[in-house]
Amino acid sequence: MPPFSLRRAVLILASKATALVCAMALALAALAAPAAAQAPGGGSIIRDAEIEGLLKDYMLPIYRAAGVNPGAVEIVIINSRVFNAFVADGRRIFVNIGTLLDSKTPNEVIGVLAHETGHIAGGHLARLRQRLDSAQTMAIVAMLLGAGAIGAAAAGGGLDRGAGNAAIGAAMAPQEMIMRSLLSYQRAEEQAADRAAVNYLTKTGQSAKGMLITFKRFADQIAFSQRFIDPYAQSHPMPQDRIRNLEELARKSPYFDKLDPPALQARHDLMRAKLVGFTEGPQGVARRYPVSDQSLPAKYARAISAYRSSALDGAIGQIDGLIAAQPNNPWFHELKGQAYLENGRAAQAVPPLRRAIALAPNATLIRTMLGQALVASNAPRDTDAAISELTKATARDAKNADGYRQLAQALARKGRIPEADLASAQAAFAIGDYGTARQIAERAKRAFKPGTPNWLKADDIASYRPVKLK
């Protein structure tokens, strides 16, 4: 057997180092953002004006306490029943509908999102990336030092099997230490986010009890397997330690036993009922909200279920009952318009949607639905109104792909083809289909005078190249 080549050993171990670092990066990414975190790439995102508005109202005081610009943070709702929330890039908080459905009080949701705000305010993700970069360097150096040991053994008269295994083991041993160091760092950041969240809640005069309830729920979920867990191989603090530390902090607050305001609790209950109505079938709605339950949330869930699964007229009667109970609730008028629109009665959808917009003028998603109803009505007089509404909606929400699609249809109907192409490009861009967006934008760009606002918009899309993650 020929002597073991030092150069070959270095190449092999450097390759293993790179593979190990990639594995560490993937493992840490998975730990930082569990299975549901994959939803932004492949799962469904829920858009709803009522829920988004409620979450913004929950978080505005927290952002202020954290010194975070509210306009710089987006809350994205993921259609997953797993109880989870996470940050992925320092400017978006992802929250699963499972978190919203399982949280009985606003305080539970606020506590979870306050923790995620702690990560954003603390710059934890940026520092984690720096740690990963440093870990890559350390891993390669460790591998090369191990390769040097192998080379020395080879130069000294060959490398037998036992010596080779020992040298390779010595080369690989530092990698476990690096991984554990990274995980220890991330556990420390989780604890820092916990402390920050309690601080934000105290500053805003809110209880941390909901946050404590949430983490106890997490602890219960893994309690059965906890004795098999290596506490040094976890990215988050072990449940008992976390609960103990959090409870000690939370109980120091003078607001620990403070309840959410009744009006906020009422909105929270309606939000949960809405999610049940849209995500569970009639049987699921009936289990959660039996006919004997005559509360407003129960009626809301049943009305949603009715329009989606039974005769429209009966559902409209139930929705009218909601409106009679709260005439100035924009979401009940929105629901009526949506029920008409989705059942092919676009013209009848327009009045309740106009009323909803009058009550919630900043709700771009309702304005988009109104524009859609105006387009679908096929009345020539409604096309100009649709363009006006959809232009306003997309101007306030650049990620409103549905709004851009409807706008493109309305513009095309008026013969404004270059503008329709631009709206189509914007729709494709909003969903991340950059290839299609560039292709359509190039076509639109040729029809506009250089330097005009529409030409600049088309040029921005045509020249955009997504940043590749390292």
User: What domains does the chain contain, in order, with CATH numbers?
Assistant: 6-204+209-251 (no CATH), 263-462 (1.25.40.10)
Q: Please state the rounded mean pLDDT for residues 198-221.
A: 88
Name the burial class of residue 377, with classes exposed (0-12), middle (13-18) and buried (19+) by CB atoms within 10 angstroms of its CB. buried
Over the stretch 70-101, which tens digit does the pLDDT of each residue have?
Answer: 888 999 999 998 888 888 777 889 999 999 99
Query: What was the pLDDT predicted at 90?
Result: 74
Single pTM value for the model? 0.76
Please name the residue that has the structure tokens 């792909």: 401
Structure token pair of residue 351: 């009045």
Q: How far apart are the first and last CA of the chain?
A: 41
Compute the distance between CA of residue 331 and CA of residue 338 in angstroms, rounded to an integer. Answer: 10
Over the stretch 415-470, which tens digit does the pLDDT of each residue have?
Answer: 999 999 999 999 999 999 999 999 999 999 999 999 999 999 999 999 998 876 44
CB 262 within 8 A of CB 48: no
Compute the distance between CA of residue 371 and CA of residue 16 in angstroms, rounded to an integer. Answer: 56
Please name the residue that has the structure tokens 């591998």: 143
Residue 320 one-letter amino acid: D
Compute the distance between CA of residue 175 and CA of residue 331 in angstroms, rounded to an integer. Answer: 55
Residue 258 one-letter amino acid: K
Q: Please state the rounded mean pLDDT for residues 216-225.
A: 61
Query: What was the pLDDT predicted at 224?
Result: 38
Q: For Cα atoms 213, 219, 223, give the angle at the middle one, nearest 5 degrees.
A: 145
- The alpha-helical segments, DSSP class H, found in 90-160 are 97-102, 106-121, 124-155
Query: What was the pLDDT predicted at 418?
Result: 97
Query: What was the pLDDT predicted at 92?
Result: 87
Decide which of 133 and 183 is more confident: 133
Compute the distance between CA of residue 340 and CA of residue 346 in angstroms, rounded to an integer. Answer: 6
Sign of CA dihedral 147, 149, 154, 155: positive
Least confident residue range of 115-129, 171-185, 326-340: 171-185
Decide which of 89 and 393 is more confident: 393
Query: What was the pLDDT predicted at 25?
Result: 35
Compute the distance between CA of residue 174 and CA of residue 203 in angstroms, rounded to an integer. Answer: 43
Confidence of residue 245 (pLDDT cuts 50, 70, 90): confident
Name the burial class of residue 7, with classes exposed (0-12), middle (13-18) and buried (19+) by CB atoms within 10 angstroms of its CB. exposed
List own/partner pairs for 439-446 with CB under 8 A and 24 or more apart: 444/418, 444/419
User: DSSP class of residue 35?
Assistant: G
CB 437 within 8 A of CB 408: no
β-bridge mates for residue 77, sequence order: 46, 95
Q: For Cα atoms 316, 317, 320, give the angle at the middle one, nearest 5 degrees.
A: 85
Q: What is the CA radius of gyration of the chain?
A: 28
Over the stretch 368-380, which tens digit does the pLDDT of each residue have?
Answer: 999 999 999 988 8
* pLDDT > 80? residue 180: no
Over the stretch 99-124, which tens digit does the pLDDT of each residue have?
Answer: 999 999 999 999 999 999 998 887 64
CB 328 within 8 A of CB 359: yes
Compute the distance between CA of residue 434 and CA of residue 429 in angstroms, rounded to an integer. Answer: 5
The mean predicted confidence, pLDDT, of the chain is: 80
* pLDDT > 70? residue 131: no
Compute the distance between CA of residue 72 and CA of residue 396 in angstroms, rounded to an integer. Answer: 14
Q: Please state the rounded mean pLDDT for residues 181-191.
A: 56
Q: Give residues with Cβ within 8 angstroms of 66, minimum separation 6.
A: 117, 118, 120, 121, 196, 200
HSE-up of residue 78 (Cα within 13 Å, Cβ side): 26
Q: Please state the rounded mean pLDDT for residues 224-248.
A: 57
Compute the distance between CA of residue 9 and CA of residue 14 in angstroms, rounded to an integer. Answer: 8
Over the stretch 258-308, which tens digit does the pLDDT of each residue have?
Answer: 999 999 999 999 999 999 999 999 999 999 999 999 999 999 999 999 999
